[in-house]
Structure 1
Amino acid sequence: VLELSVDGRRVNEDGYLEHVLRLRPGRSRKVQEHNKLRRCLRDFFPNRKCFVLPPPAEPEAMKHLEELDEGQLRPRFLQQADAFCRHIWDTAPVKALPGRAAVTGRMLASLAERYVEAIGSIGVLCLESAVTALAAAENRAAVAAAVAKYRQCMERELKLPTASQKKLGDAHQRCERRALNLFMARVFADKEQRYQLQLMVGGGTARRGVARGVPSPAEPHVAPAEQAAGGQGGVLPAQ
């Protein structure tokens, strides 16, 4: 078991880590070799924290560790493992790619598949090309989701076939804004706005499909016969 002590003095886990990463003074080859890895760790991980996990079970049980239930593990190990996980959940930043705020689980799985394929084919994986391919797939999905959102919104907002052109325009603005917000939340690496243009085209097609059931300003629309007080059908005047 690791003893958390420095020069006979008890220290906590973080203090022990900083002691281990301390650089030695001097310029000899031995000193440089000693400092090289430590300097890299200090530079790449400016925010550091140490967790010391004791052996998870008794020596005899360690031979069958994968078969043990959680209740058979040492309480101290479980406490430290829980503290480690809570620290990761609370402080670790969300994985991100250039041009996007966060990477979803689906995107991470897609990147992992591309890495495995490149390794399996003895190819050279180019991170930029992998991200470009991922962006294309995600952006196509973002366009499809936004168009579907627009269509669903329009169908919910309009009560066809009695809607007027004004109601169509008002509903279009509301639904277009919602669809665009959904698209912008998912799209990334679309510097040339190719996929935003696709969204505008797809949204226009969806709008024309909805507008077929809307009367034009020049032609009043005869609504289905309704049982009014006088028993006559109503007519919606053009607006």
Structure 2
Amino acid sequence: MLSQNIKVSANDPSNDDLQNIMPQFVLCVRDFNLDLEQNGDEITADEYLEMCLQTKTGETPEDDKYNRPRECIKKYFTRRKVFTFDRPASRKVMRTLDLAREEDLNEDFVHETEKFLAYIYTCPGKYLLNKSPVTGSMLAKLLREYVTTISDGNVPCVEDAMLIMTRQENKKHAKVAAEEYKVFLKQIQLPVYDKNKLCDSNLKFKKENLSSLQSKLMFDTDSKFQKSTEVKRS
């Protein structure tokens, strides 16, 4: 359904690149009491997940219904992880779980929970194609663009949304750079007796300011925002 209601690129209707923007697939199975083994050999939880994602070879409607979600998970979620949680505690403790202490909980459940938390908290953040990390404000801009597009009855395009978002971010960074230069100018004490020293100081600040701006700009291939900032500082 997602592949039918979102486009990665306006020039590629196949959506083969959708897997590149999908988040990591983390499956949590509660009250898991099966033995993690296959043909008598012990397997990991991740191997168990891959085993569960195996498809059937039949061509009946039932086979298609069984295979379709598994095929989609494997196609669109190339990074997969599973955690198998034991029952949290005994039936008596479960009745008043909100009052339970950690020592009242199942040791295996606590251990798996610690593994899960450690994994989630160390997962790398999302990055753009230029390796820039996606910040909270960038994510908010992307979501706003998606919602606006869907509300207008159109199919959102990831590339278009990212282009709009990066333009907004670049505009913000360019404005900050220009404001920093204004602050620098206001700190100059008049009258100026050593013009060479002032020119050197001005040149040094511009260079550092420009270097900082360039490190933040995204997909500014034509240097549009860099040039606009230079005009404001001249």
- When normalised by structure 2's length, the TM-score is 0.65
Distance 1:115 1:59 in 2: 45
Match of 1:138 among 160, 169, 173: 169
Q: Is the 8 A contact 1:100 1:188 kept in 2?
A: no
Cα drift, residue 49 of structure 1 = 2.9
Give yes or no for the alignment of 1:147 onto 2:181. no
Question: Would the aligned equivalents of 2:93 and 2:100 in 1 still touch at CA under 8 Å?
Answer: no
Compare CA radii of gyration and give the structure with the larger one: 1
- Report the TM-score, using the length of structure 1 for normalisation: 0.64
Matched letter for residue 223 of structure 2: Q
- Looking at structure 1, the residues matched to 100 and 213 of structure 2 have their Cα atoms a distance apart, in angstroms, of 44
Displacement after TM superposition at 1:176 (Å): 0.8
Q: What number of residue pairs does the alignment pair up?
A: 198
Deviations 1:29-57 (A, max 9, x none): 26984666545544555554321134557
Equivalent position of 2:127 in the other structure = 96
Instruction: Identify if the C-alpha distance between structure 1 residues 174 and 55 changes in structure 2 by more than 3 Å, giving closer, same or farther.
Output: farther
Counterpart-to-counterpart distance in 1, 2:194 and 2:100: 65
Shift of 1:8: 4.7
- Percent identity reads 26
SS at the partner of 1:51? strand
Deviation at 1:87, TM superposition (A): 1.6
Q: Which residue pairs with 2:47 in the alignment?
A: 15
Cα displacement (A) at 1:71: 5.1
Compared CA separation, residues 44 and 129, structure 1 to 2 (3 A): closer
Q: Which runs of 5+ in 2 are unaligned?
A: 1-30
Q: 2:203 aligns with which of 167, 173, 186?
A: 173
- Which residue of 2 is the match for residue 127 of structure 1? 158
Q: Does the aligned pair in 1 maintain the 2:45–2:84 contact within 8 Å?
A: yes
**Alpha-carbon shift at residue 80 of structure 1 (Å):** 2.9
Higher relative contact order (CA 8 A, sep 6+): 2
Task: Please list every run of 5 or more consecutive structure 1 residues that lacks an aligned counterpart in the other structure.
Answer: 205-239
